Copies of this chain bind each other. A is one copy, B any other.
Amino acid sequence: MQFEYFNPTQLVFGAGSLVRLGKLAQQYGQRALIVTGGGSVKRNGTFDRAVKSLTDAGVAVFECDGVEPNPRITSVKRGADLARAHQCDLIIALGGGSTMDAAKVMAAAALYEGDPWDMIIHGQPDPYVPTQALPLITVPTLAATGSEMNCGAVISNEDTKEKSFIHNACLFPKVALLDPELTLSVPKDQTAYGVCDLITHITESYLNGATNTPIQDRFAESVILTAMEYGVKAIADGSDLEARSQVQWAATLALNGWVNSGSGGAGFPVHMIEHTISAYHDITHAVGLAIVNPAWMRFATRQNPRKFVQFAERIFGLTAKNPDDVDCALAGIDRFEAFLKSIGCPTRLSEVGINDGLLETYAKETLRIIHDENGNLPAKPAMTEADIIAVLRAAL
C-alpha cells in the first residue's frame, strides 16, 4: 500500500442540525451566497429555515438558484458573477450533488478572472489549477453523491456536450452540515438513485483497486451492506428517519476517502462512461450508473474474477467453489442488478430510450476526455474503444 489521504472538512451530522448553520457560517464569512437547485428547498421550507439561521447569526444572504441536475458551466459562471457582485465571502450549497458541485466551482471561479471551464479536465492538455476558493459550506438535501465532504465536482458544458470534472484540495468544504431530516421529503425514485449512486462510488474503488487491501475491502462492504439494508427501508418509508440517517452517512462515506484510501483505484470507468451518456442525453447520473455498472462488472469479472467472487460472497452470501469462480462472480452481479431493479432503477439503455446508434461516439468521447498513455480508459482492466462499445452493447 502506498497512498496519501487528506480531508480537512469538518463534518457535523445529526437530525435537526440545520439550526446550527448560522453559527457555523459566521466563523467563515459575513456575506453568504446560497446556491440552490430546482426549488424543492423553497417549497418544503428548508431554504427559509437556512436563511433564518444565517440572518439570526448576522450573516447576510444572497441567492443563486436554479442549478440544473447535471450542473452547467453557465450556472457556475452566473454564480461566480453573483458572488462577486454581492461581495460574498462565503458560499453555501443547499441541495443535492449538482448544487454542491456547482457551488464548489463557483467558490473557486469567484476568485479567478478567466473562464471557469478552464478548470475542468475535459481532455484539455493543461487545465488551469486553482489555488484558492471562497470558503464553502455544504448542506446536502439528498443522500447520494458524497460531494458534501470531498474536493471533487462534475460540471457539464451544454454547448460542447462535454461532462467532466475537477479535483482540487482548495475545493474541500470547510463544513459539511448533514441533517438527515432534510432528506425526508426526497421522493422514492430519487432516494433509490441516491442508493445506486453511493454504492457505485464504492464498487468503482473496490473493483478497480489494488489487491490485498483487507481493511478497505471490509470498509467498502460495510457501506454497501448498510446502504442496501437501509436504502430499502428509506424507499419503502420516506419518513423513516433512522433509515434516512444511515443512508446519508453511507453516501458521505462512499466518497470522502475513508473507504478507498489505500486501495489505489485504477480508475472510475463506470462513471467516465456514464458521464458521456448523460452529457448526450441528460439522464439522471445514477440511472446511467445503474445501467453501465452491471454491464461493466460482467466485462471486468472475466479477466479479474477474485474481487467479484468476494463481492458475491460477502454482499450476497453466495458460496464460491474457489476464489476465482467466475460463475459465482456472475451470479453475484446478477443479484446486484436484480437489487437495482428491485429498488426501481433502470438497468438497461433501452429503458431510458437510448439505442445502439451512438455507441461508438460515446466510446470515442469517453476516451477523448480521459485516457492512459496507451489511449485506453483507466480501469482494471484498462478498456479499449471496442471494450467500451461491448459493455454498452451488453447494456442495451
Please list the residues of chain A having a beta carbon within 8 angstroms of any beta carbon in chain B.
1-15, 17, 212, 214-215, 218-219, 221-223, 225-226, 229-230, 242, 245-246, 249-250, 253, 258, 261-262
Contacts and interface: CB of A to CB of B under 8 A. Distances in A.
B6 A2 contact: no
B214 A246 contact: yes
16 contacts: A2-B17, A3-B11, A4-B11, A4-B12, A5-B11, A5-B13, A7-B7, A212-B242, A214-B222, A214-B229, A214-B230, A215-B222, A215-B246, A218-B222, A249-B262, A258-B258
Contacts of A222: 214-215, 218-219, 222
A262 B250 CA distance: 12
Contacts of A17: 2
Given A222-B222, A258-B258, A215 B11 contact: no
A219 B17 CA distance: 25
Contacts of A214: 222, 225-226, 229-230, 246
Contact of A15 (B2, B15, B215): B2
A12 B2 CA distance: 8
A322 B6 CA distance: 42
| Chain B CB within 10 Å, residue with most, of A1, A17, A261 | A1
3 closest cross-chain pairs (CB), A and B: A218-B222, A2-B14, A8-B8
Nearest to A2: B14
A175 to B, nearest CB: 9
A11 B6 contact: yes
Given A3-B13, A4-B10, A11-B4, A218 B212 contact: no
B1 A249 contact: yes
A218 B215 contact: no
Contacts of A11: 3-6, 261
Given A215-B249, A218-B222, 13 more contacts: A2-B13, A2-B14, A3-B13, A4-B10, A5-B11, A5-B13, A6-B8, A6-B9, A214-B222, A214-B230, A215-B223, A215-B226, A222-B222
Copies of this chain = 2
Nearest to A261: B11
A289 to B, nearest CB: 21
A262 B13 contact: yes
Contacts of A2: 13-15, 17
A14 B5 CA distance: 12
A14 B11 CA distance: 27
Contacts of A226: 214-215, 218
| Chain B CB within 10 Å, residue with most, of A5, A17, A212, A226 | A5
A3 B14 contact: yes
A221 B223 contact: no
Contacts of A3: 11, 13-14
A3 B10 CA distance: 11
Nearest to A248: B1
Nearest to A258: B258
A269 to B, nearest CB: 25
Contacts of A242: 212
Given A10-B6, A258-B258, A245 B215 contact: no
Contacts of A262: 13, 249
Contact of A4 (B13, B212, B215): B13
A262 B11 CA distance: 11
Nearest to A229: B214
Contacts of A258: 258
Contacts of A229: 214
